[in-house]
A and B are shown apart, each in its own frame.
Chain A
Amino acid sequence: MSERSEAEVRAEVREWLEAHWDPDRPLVEWRNMLADTGWGVPHWPREWFGLGLPVPLSQAVDEEFAKQGAVGVAKAGIRHLAAATLLEHGDDFHKERFLRRILTGEDTWCQLFSEPGSGSDLAGATTRADFDGQQWVVNGQKVWTTSAHHAQYGLLLARTDWDVPKHQGLTYFVLDMEQPGVEVHQLRQMNGHASFNQVFFTDARIPPEYQVSETGNGWRVAMTTLAHERRGADGLRAHAFASERVGRIYEEEAREIATIMEPYKWYPQRAGRVDLVLPRARETSRLDDPVVRQEVAKLLTLVKSAEWTARRARAAQEQGRPQGPEGSLGKLAASHVARAAARVHTLISGADAMLSGDDGPLDGLIAEILVSVPATSIAGGTDEIQRNIIAERVLGMPKEPRMDTGPFRDVPRNVGSS
């Protein structure tokens, strides 16, 4: 079974789909079949719901599914970060307990990392977990938690030791969200949407077997989660296109996608909607104005250059060559693009840029761009942190002297953090 050619794999999956795919089957039942056979995540190990296929062959399997119109395992949302992290760092109990229901979509997950007192400085978390002899007891608060209001489980980074340097006192857990000690409140953003949550823990309980990292070794596991988040920033939304085909299974999948994707619906506006700039400039006749033309051209120059830079990075990667500095610049470039796009949209709209909702240009879409763009340079690592990373890791500039290397107990922190 090991060295199969792409043609063999394609033939095999086609034959299997031919025999088993049925759009009127219940979604969970179908996905359990995928988990049992390995066709759902063929690049996963054989002992854990996969076939141990290399990634390119796994993509061939995805293509065969798409040709058939066959639904795959649940992939969208934070659950895929949970799966990747547990595959890499979980023990057999975790994999046995959680992975199947991630694939079937029965469980939704959230990521409990950011706190009001630690945003850029994630390792400064002060949510605490104390072992009472039988269970871990969690107290504190997390924030910016997508999907927490409907998640069954959370990936939790909590402080378990206050007397060691901050990176060494964190432990990584799976937390059951459906318990009395966990309270979830929506967090309303400046653009009016409420895509995130605040999560409060008051003596929330974690059984010892839900501990993922060794005690004090949680930072390393969190790095895995974050690496997958960065790599798959778009992966979170990659499977967001609900099929319009008819059949029970499609309807169930569409409902699932609608729930998972709801928090992301303003993300295109957050990125600046460059696609609307030229059409808007033309239909408003503002493209006749030489000043507008200059600004539009500046924006297009930036957008195209950023796109080409990303493709240079990808092309190098595909050829197995070491990536140059161009690979680390995407996020910073995206911030520039979003801000520039907001500026040009404002220039094009003129006084109408003051109007929102039904009174605003494009039924409020332009206004939504203008009040969503500020998130781009903050979410997923601020521009300032990105610049530090670029300067230190790409340009090899010396690190800043640190004030937080001693025991975490003695590190200055925000007022109100325990």
Chain B
Amino acid sequence: MAFVFTEEQEQFRDIVARFLRDTSPTVEVRRLMETDAGFDGGVWERLNSELGLSALHVPEALGGQGFSFVELGIVCEEMGRALLCAPYLSSAVLATDAILQAGDLGQQAELLPAMASGGRRGALAVTEPNGGWHAEAVETTATRNGAAYRLDGAKSFVIDGHTADFIVVVARERGSSGADGISFFTVAGDAPGLDRRLLETVDATRKQARLTFRGVPAEPLGEPGAGAPALERILVDAVTALASEMVGGAQQMLDSAIEYTKLRMQFGRAIGSFQAVKHKCADMLLEVELAKSAAYQAAAAVAEGAEDAPALASLAKAAASDTYLQAAADCIQLHGGIGFTWDNDTHLWFKRAKSSEVLFGDATHHRERMLEHWPE
């Protein structure tokens, strides 16, 4: 397993970072978080036409660039750092990965090229109002009538679910339980019987929706009833990408805190010269670097299809959950009073950290999963 990025990967990171510095300054983040859609169509178009980011880990035969989760992790890390408001995680990571894991080759060929170009946006609906992140918690039912399926139930925490062109929905066959009967479907965003409501969220920079299904017509994705393994894999990939995004945000909190403590004068000296402040910053650095190492290992394990990928992904998510929130809280603390104001930018990351802390399962959940999958 590699422990350094290649020169090409570092150059790629620089290009992505530069693009995000230009397109996602906090003034833009603040503008977009007040909108319902939550992203800028022009930036989304450029992100795909100039950098091809939605195509990154789509196989070349399907109109993609054929890169791995390591490169995807780099993109997510930089986006988390810049707090980019865009449907990247929802469409290019989650929905794309769901189609790659659950769909058959024909379905992949039908759906992915348009997604890889950014022209069509998907969302992934797994979790329900009960907040469970795994197969057992799925209650939405799929009813078969001949070759046609209809969905009934409710999905929540669906990232960008209110704006996506279509939704990948996880449902179960009527009467099934546990991992049995888990099926994937695609549903058009404007399908009859589908109600989409934008949720009020702590983190306004990432939009979430609640979707209600009342006899919504749905197309099966992959073999109905046999979706549980794909769902497991998708969740492993999802937390890996999210952990990358989170360590990027944590790094930004560290950098912001350091910059401020060098400038802020009290008692006739920069507050960064006080040991109480230095020690907090040194601890932040340690935690951030440890969480980054974990995120990099998880991404590499997923990229290689390694056996320990589920354990490492959960380890990385647990580390990122704790570290990002702590780094954001420390960044507020080091800013003092101004850190608690709306005008100061720190709360934007703090809220993303708080929300990401529990998205796809909190640290406690993932520590348990990590031990269940621990190789020794």
Q: How far is the CA of A332 from the CA of B290 in the complex (A)?
A: 11
Asked if residues B3 and A308 are in contact (CB atoms below 8 Å), the reply is yes
12 CB contacts below 8 A, A to B, read A298-B318, A301-B294, A304-B315, A305-B315, A308-B293, A312-B3, A384-B275, A387-B275, A387-B278, A387-B282, A397-B258, A400-B275
Which A314-329 residues have C-beta < 8 A from chain B?
Answer: 314-316, 319, 321, 324-326, 329
Q: How far is the CA of A296 from the CA of B269 in the complex (A)?
A: 43
- How many residue pairs bridge A and B at CB < 8 Å? 124
Range, interface on chain B = 35 or more
Would you give the shortest CB distance from B160 to chain A, in whole angstroms? 30
Which A258-303 residues have C-beta < 8 A from chain B?
Answer: 278, 290, 293-294, 296-298, 300-302
A386 on the B face (CB < 8 A): yes
Q: Which of B281, B283, B290, B292 is in CB contact (< 8 Å) with A397?
A: B281
Query: Which of B67-75, B89-97, B365-373 lies at the interface with chain A?
Result: B365-373
Which A394-415 residues have C-beta < 8 A from chain B?
Answer: 394-401
Would you give the shortest CB distance from B334 to chain A, in whole angstroms? 11
Which residues from chain A contact B281 at a C-beta distance below 8 Å?
A: 391, 395, 397
Which residues from chain A contact B376 at a C-beta distance below 8 Å?
A: 278
B297 on the A face (CB < 8 A): yes
Q: Quick one: closest B residue to A287, CB to CB?
A: B371
Which residues from chain A contact B278 at a C-beta distance below 8 Å?
A: 387-388, 391-392, 395, 397
Which residues from chain A contact B286 at a C-beta distance below 8 Å?
A: 329, 332-333, 336, 390
Asked if residues A296 and B294 are in contact (CB atoms below 8 Å), the reply is no
Binary B-proximity of A336-352 (CB < 8 A = 1, otherwise 0):
10000000000000000
Would you give the shortest CB distance from A403 to chain B, in whole angstroms? 13
Q: How far is the CA of A226 from the CA of B264 in the complex (A)?
A: 35
Q: Which of B269, B285, B292, B319 is in CB contact (< 8 Å) with A395?
A: B285
Asked if residues A296 and B371 are in contact (CB atoms below 8 Å), the reply is yes
Q: How far is the CA of A300 from the CA of B262 in the complex (A)?
A: 35
Binary A-proximity of B257-279 (CB < 8 A = 1, otherwise 0):
01001100000011011110111
Asked if residues B4 and A319 are in contact (CB atoms below 8 Å), the reply is yes
Task: List 19 other contacts, CB 8 Å, given A300-B370, A384-B279.
Answer: A293-B368, A293-B371, A294-B364, A297-B367, A301-B367, A304-B315, A305-B293, A305-B315, A306-B293, A308-B297, A311-B3, A315-B3, A325-B285, A329-B290, A332-B286, A387-B279, A390-B282, A391-B272, A398-B272
Q: How far is the CA of A398 from the CA of B71 in the complex (A)?
A: 36
Which B residues lie at the A interface, using CB under 8 A?
2-4, 258, 261-262, 269-270, 272-275, 277-279, 281-283, 285-286, 289-294, 296-297, 315, 318-319, 364, 367-368, 370-371, 374, 376
Output the residue of B4, B274, B315 with the most chain A CB within 10 A: B4
Q: How far is the CA of A314 from the CA of B290 in the complex (A)?
A: 15
Q: Which of A312, A386, A390, A397 is in CB contact (< 8 Å) with B4?
A: A312
Which residues from chain B contact A293 at a C-beta distance below 8 Å?
A: 367-368, 371
Asked if residues A398 and B270 are in contact (CB atoms below 8 Å), the reply is yes
Which residues from chain B contact A321 at a C-beta distance below 8 Å?
A: 4
